[in-house]
């Protein structure tokens, strides 16, 4: 006798017309690209939707759920678990599938479904990652399910026509088929070939015979129910393999009784009595029995995928699916109660074909088993091929599944059918399928959990377009369905459940990194939006504290082609804060046919992806750069996430370099041939060409094609400070390359290394040597933040302490060192005597004063006014009036002082930026002084802070 197998049935949720090959309508491509809108042929050629609820939903779902489990495994479940646990199993199983049915009805009534069933449903709701991973597992489950039903049919055939394996004389004259593993494999291969031929040539025959098969199954069920009442009690000969399952001793019965309705029989079948299964020789448990029983509860999504062929999908799918679920639940429990009341425990445990033996006419059950099993095996094979075809068509696994996209002229995916047939044939070699039954059950439970998760995510995202007509579900039912599925997975087999989840996550990561971007929509984006909006409302600016301050930066970019170095550097000092790339385009919307900025966002977002930075993009249209920056300072950000720091490129004559067309670093060779090759390549982004090197303009941080005057540039700085925004001016970042800047200097004598220099004193105010004002502390904070970034962690902070003779250098150094210790900033302090430099300044002041007194009769009045301005201005936050009298010699001396202190050039310098003068007439002189101060210093940041950003408190 061949080993009997636990059976599984899950029919792919495909419509009858999808199973039947059909040619595409005229004018319609036979294949639709992933994510593209559904092509709808016009006119009368479009197939009419004509299936009713009964034929379109109820019959497919019932045939999917009524497998051979109802004929061959009801006795197994009751005999092993007892009536109490059997009913409990059905309650648990149907609770799980009922929660999932609610989710299926909700999703399926929110839009028409396509081929692929659960795969299509999950992928379009949760995105390609979840859909692809679950879809592949759905394919494997259908493959194994088809193999299970083929071997189940072989078992039924061998029970009737097979020669006993123990070599005894056949009980009937028609038991002529040889028995054994290889013979069973041969029979299974033949049955599978029959299924393959039907799927390749005549799948429409199966589709048209669905109703006939349904009638046969219902008639057989009717005869079984009648037989429990009509057949008289009798003794039944047990299969020879069951009597010798545990040996050949006299303690193993060879016969069992069909007692009819007796109270003693019912009482004997109430409690559980787990024994060794005579077909697999393995001890049964609650989990293994539940795994077999649950196979008869699957198939709930058979009707939902037929929405395209239904007259009224939103009406038919919920009612048809729920009707089928309730009907099967009643039949399963009724059969369990009848079997427990009429059959001895021995009969239930040792003869899984007892329904045939007690039937009023034995061939009825045989016909029912054959028809339902063949139908289930064929539908699973068709289902597996349709899922594989859907996966291949969506290109989620690249070229691996690309051959499966081929179809015949009639639209039948014959390559997918062949691949599915081959996989089923491989499973047939296993022979013993108890293990496979558990794995497949776990796969289906995982698919159901994913459907519940998809519905839960759509509900939580509160997307306006998620408005299913079926409303009898809540997020509670989705959560209960997910919990139920996961719990039962681990109860059936914790190892297989863990492995399945790990396999799904591995596939998810693989698809995430390898598959192209789809246009289906990602539920993750809707969920992120929902949560971010909630947390933004909770982010109260009134509760901000200096301990949790972080830079939130608005970087003004004119043309990204020349600003790549600055963009990537500023990304390093944002410290997980808000980072916005701002751009001003000159123009007047009143004179333009449409907004020119909308077409530019894709290029800017592609730039963010290309540079691998975490930044937002904000573009504006204005009549001037000055007004455009004002707009962005006012409107950038949302709620508590608004820029607090403005970063500008420096106003100079540096020639911009195109770092997008020439991505090579400065250390790489740039021979003419390679440059010409780069020029021939198409640009990566649709940004304007750079300006000529001779134009007097900024270094690429403002709009090309419009000369930005120095007064307007300084006005932008002044506006930002009025709005209490910190200001950073970045110079010599045109060719900045972080990888090159972080290379230790080996050419200089002494110990090599990477340095970041900080000068926290206002060099344009020689009479001020304060290191503890708001601006100097802001410098220290930004330098410390840069040093906290992983790439800059090995850089050394060098803090330069400007001192004068006659003052205690050691005392000043200790005082600054204690401040750094309190601020938890690790830096090396270097005293810098600058008496000679300061002397140049005071010399200039004295000479200027005497000259003015001798030549200008109004000198006294001017000097008095200047002195009054000096007293009124705060020396920390104001640009002092005497700075307008700083000589070029003094500024050049300061510049030389900075250069002389660095035997080893730093990667970047941080300098103190004073406020612009209150008088706009001094803007040009102010900018010239900054230019002289930073001449040839290399990458330099001029920084002005307006708010406290650092604290010594815990």
Which structural domains are found in the chain, ordered by start? 56-166+174-234+255-514 (1.20.1740.10), 546-654+704-845+884-944 (3.40.50.12370)
For the chain, the average pLDDT equals 77
| Arithmetic mean of pLDDT, 420-431 | 86
Q: Which residue has the higher pLDDT, 183 or 931?
A: 931
Tell me what the mean pLDDT of segment 204-208 comes to. Answer: 65
Cross-strand pairs, 757: 798, 909
If one compares 920 and 743, the residue with the highest pLDDT of the two is: 920
* Mean pLDDT of the region 131-150: 83
Q: Which two tokens stand for residue 939?
A: 């990458």
Q: How far apart are CA 722 and CA 703, in angstroms?
A: 23
pLDDT at 898 over 80: yes
Give me the phi and psi of 448, to 5 degrees please: -60, -40
Compare 163 and 493 and report the one with higher pLDDT. 493
> In this predicted model, what pLDDT tens digit does every residue of 348-363 receive, in sequence order?
988 888 888 888 887 8
* Residue 817: band (very low, low, confident or very high) from pLDDT cuts 50, 70, 90: confident
Compute the average pLDDT of residues 305-321: 73
pTM (global) more than 0.75? no
Return the DSSP state at 226. Answer: H
The pLDDT tens digits for 830-862 are: 888 777 777 666 555 554 444 444 444 444 444
Whether the per-residue pLDDT at 580 is higher than 90: the answer is yes
Q: Please tell me the predicted confidence (pLDDT) of residue 927.
A: 92
Looking at residue 465, what is its pLDDT?
76
Better pLDDT: 761 or 866: 761
Q: What's the pLDDT score for residue 740?
A: 85
Q: pLDDT digits over 500-520, tens only? A: 899 888 888 887 777 666 667
Query: Residues with Cβ < 8 Å from 535, sequence gap 6 or more?
Result: none
CB count in 10 Å sphere of residue 154: 26
CA gap 588, 570 in Å, rounded: 31
Average pLDDT over residues 465-472: 81
At 1 the pLDDT is: 37
Does the pLDDT at position 666 exceed 60? no
Band (pLDDT 50/70/90 cuts) for residue 661 is low
Q: Is the pLDDT of residue 11 over 70?
A: no
Work out the pLDDT band at 443, boundaries 50, 70, 90: confident
Dihedral sign (CA 540, 542, 545, 546) = positive
Mean pLDDT of the region 924-938: 91
Instruction: Output the CA angle 552-558-564, nearest 5 degrees.
Output: 70
Q: Which of 39-53, 116-130, 601-615 has the highest mean pLDDT?
A: 601-615
- Could you tell me if 45 and 319 are in contact, meaning their C-beta atoms sit under 8 angstroms apart? no
Q: What is the mean pLDDT of residues 385-391?
A: 84
Q: What pLDDT shows up at residue 691?
A: 57
- Rounded Cα gap, residues 951 and 945, in angstroms: 15
What pLDDT score does 338 carry?
Answer: 94
Per-residue pLDDT at 549: 86
pLDDT of residue 37 exceeding 50: no
- Best-predicted range by mean pLDDT (22-26, 159-163, 306-310, 728-732): 728-732
Q: Is the pLDDT of residue 690 over 80?
A: no
Dihedral sign for Cα 686, 692, 693, 698, please. negative
Which range is least confidently modeled, 88-102, 271-285, 288-302, 471-485? 288-302
Higher pLDDT, 691 or 140: 140
pLDDT higher than 60, residue 867: no
pLDDT digits (tens, 9 = 90+) for 241-274: 655 544 444 456 788 889 989 999 999 999 999 9
132/125: higher pLDDT: 132
710 vs 379, more confident: 710
What is the phi/psi pair of residue 773, to 5°? -85, 175
CA angle 317, 318, 322 (to 5 degrees): 115
More confident call, 446 vs 727: 727
Q: For position 863, what pLDDT does the model report?
A: 45
DSSP state of 469: S
If you average pLDDT over residues 465-487, what whole number do you get? Answer: 88
Percentage, residues of the chain above pLDDT 90: 21
Q: Are 925 and 714 in contact (CB under 8 A)?
A: no
CA 115 to chain centre: 23
Look at residue 567 in the predicted model and tell me its pLDDT. Answer: 93
Those residues whose C-beta lies under 8 Å from the C-beta of residue 271, and which sit 6 or more positions away, are 82, 84
Report residue 909's pLDDT band, with 50, 70 and 90 as the boundaries. very high
Residue 177 has pLDDT above 50, yes or no: yes
Comparing 18-27, 428-437, 898-907, the range with the smallest average pLDDT is 18-27
What does the H/E/C string look like for 874-942? CCCCCCCHHHHHCCHHHHHHHHHHHHHCCCCCCCEEEEECCCCCCCHHHHHHHHHHHHHHCCCCCCEEE
Place of tokens 């090197």: 693
């Amino acid at each position: 006798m061949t080993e009997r197998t636990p059976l599984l049935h899950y029919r792919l949720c495909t419509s009858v017309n999808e199973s039947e090959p059909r040619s595409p309508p005229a004018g319609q491509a036979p294949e639709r690209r992933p994510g593209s809108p559904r092509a709808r042929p016009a006119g009368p050629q479009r197939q009419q939707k004509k299936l009713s609820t009964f034929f379109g939903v109820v019959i497919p779902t019932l045939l999917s759920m009524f497998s051979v489990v109802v004929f061959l495994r009801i006795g197994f479940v009751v005999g092993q678990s007892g009536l109490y646990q059997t009913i409990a199993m059905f309650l648990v199983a149907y609770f799980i599938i009922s929660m999932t049915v609610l989710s299926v009805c909700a999703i399926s009534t929110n839009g028409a479904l396509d081929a692929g069933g659960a795969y299509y449903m999950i992928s379009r709701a949760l995105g390609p990652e979840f859909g692809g991973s679950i879809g592949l597992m759905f394919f494997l489950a259908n493959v194994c399910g088809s193999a299970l039903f083929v071997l189940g049919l072989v078992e039924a055939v061998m029970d009737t026509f097979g020669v006993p394996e123990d070599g005894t004389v056949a009980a009937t004259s028609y038991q002529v088929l040889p028995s054994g593993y290889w013979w069973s494999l041969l029979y299974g291969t033949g049955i599978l070939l029959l299924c393959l031929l039907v799927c390749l040539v005549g799948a429409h025959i199966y589709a048209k015979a669905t109703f006939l098969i349904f009638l046969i199954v219902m008639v057989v069920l009717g005869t079984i129910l009648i037989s429990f009442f009509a057949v008289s009690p009798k003794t039944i000969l047990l299969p020879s393999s069951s009597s010798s399952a545990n040996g050949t001793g006299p303690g193993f019965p060879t016969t069992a009784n069909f007692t009819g309705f007796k109270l003693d029989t019912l009482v004997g079948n109430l409690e559980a009595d787990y024994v060794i299964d005579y077909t697999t020789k393995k001890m049964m448990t609650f989990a293994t029995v539940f795994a077999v029983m649950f196979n008869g509860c699957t198939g709930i999504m058979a009707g939902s995928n037929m929405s395209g062929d239904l007259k009224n999908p939103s009406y038919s799918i919920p009612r048809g699916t729920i009707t089928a679920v309730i009907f099967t639940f009643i039949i399963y429990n009724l059969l369990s109660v009848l079997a427990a009341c009429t059959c001895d425990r021995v009969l239930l445990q040792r003869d899984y074909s007892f329904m045939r033996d007690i039937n009023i006419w034995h061939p009825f059950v045989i016909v029912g088993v054959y028809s339902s099993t063949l139908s289930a095996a064929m539908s699973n094979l068709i289902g597996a091929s349709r899922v594989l075809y859907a996966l291949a068509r969506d290109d989620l696994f690249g070229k691996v599944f690309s051959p499966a996209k081929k179809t015949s002229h009639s639209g039948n995916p014959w390559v997918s059918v062949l691949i599915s047939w081959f996989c089923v044939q491989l499973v047939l070699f296993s022979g013993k399928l108890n293990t496979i039954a558990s794995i497949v059950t776990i796969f289906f439970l995982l698919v159901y959990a994913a459907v519940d998760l998809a519905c839960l995510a759509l509900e939580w995202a509160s997307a306006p377009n998620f408005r299913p007509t079926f409303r009898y579900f809540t997020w509670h039912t989705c959560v209960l369905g997910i919990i139920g599925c996961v719990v039962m997975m681990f109860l059936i087999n914790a190892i297989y459940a863990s492995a399945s989840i790990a396999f799904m996550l591995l596939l998810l990561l693989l698809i995430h990194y390898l598959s192209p971007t789809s246009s289906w929509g990602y539920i993750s984006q809707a969920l992120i939006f929902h949560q971010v909006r909630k947390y933004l409302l909770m982010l109260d600016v009134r509760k901000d504290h200096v301990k949790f301050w972080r830079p939130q930066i608005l970087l003004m970019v004119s043309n990204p082609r020349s600003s790549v170095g600055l963009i990537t550097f500023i990304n390093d000092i944002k410290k997980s804060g808000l980072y916005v790339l701002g751009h001003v385009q000159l123009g007047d919307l009143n004179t333009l046919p449409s907004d020119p900025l909308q077409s530019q966002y894709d290029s800017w977002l592609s730039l963010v992806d290309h540079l691998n930075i975490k930044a937002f993009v904000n573009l504006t249209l204005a009549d001037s750069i000055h007004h455009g920056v004002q707009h962005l300072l006012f409107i950038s950000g949302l709620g508590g996430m608004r820029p607090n720091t403005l970063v500008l490129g420096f106003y100079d004559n540096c020639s911009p370099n195109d770092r997008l067309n020439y991505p090579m670093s400065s250390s790489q060779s740039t021979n003419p041939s390679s440059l010409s090759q780069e020029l021939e390549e198409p640009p990566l982004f649709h940004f304007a060409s750079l300006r000529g090197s001779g134009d007097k303009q900024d270094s690429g941080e403002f709009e090309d094609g419009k000369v930005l005057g120095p007064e307007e540039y300084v006005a932008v700085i002044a506006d930002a400070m009025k709005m209490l925004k910190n200001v950073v001016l970045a110079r010599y970042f045109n060719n900045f390359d972080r990888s090159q800047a972080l290379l230790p200097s080996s050419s200089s004598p002494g110990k090599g290394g990477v340095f970041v220099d900080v000068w926290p004193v206002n060099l344009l105010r020689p009479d001020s040597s304060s290191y503890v004002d708001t601006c100097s502390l802001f410098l220290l904070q930004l330098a410390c933040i840069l040093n906290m970034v992983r790439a800059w962690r090995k850089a050394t902070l060098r803090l330069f302490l400007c001192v004068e003779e006659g003052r205690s250098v050691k005392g000043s150094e200790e005082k600054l060192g204690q401040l750094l210790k309190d601020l938890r900033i690790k830096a090396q302090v270097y005293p810098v005597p600058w008496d000679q430099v300061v002397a140049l300044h005071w010399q200039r002041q004295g000479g200027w004063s005497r000259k003015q007194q001798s030549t200008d009769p109004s000198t006294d009045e001017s000097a008095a006014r200047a002195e009054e301005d000096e007293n009124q201005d705060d020396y920390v936050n104001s640009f002092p009036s005497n700075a307008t009298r700083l000589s070029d010699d003094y500024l050049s001396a300061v510049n030389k002082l900075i250069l002389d202190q660095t035997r080893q050039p730093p990667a970047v310098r941080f300098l103190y930026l004073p406020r612009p003068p209150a008088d706009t007439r001094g803007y040009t002189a102010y900018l010239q002084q900054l230019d002289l101060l930073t001449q040839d210093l290399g990458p330099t940041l001029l920084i002005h802070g307006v708010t406290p950003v650092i604290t010594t408190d815990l």
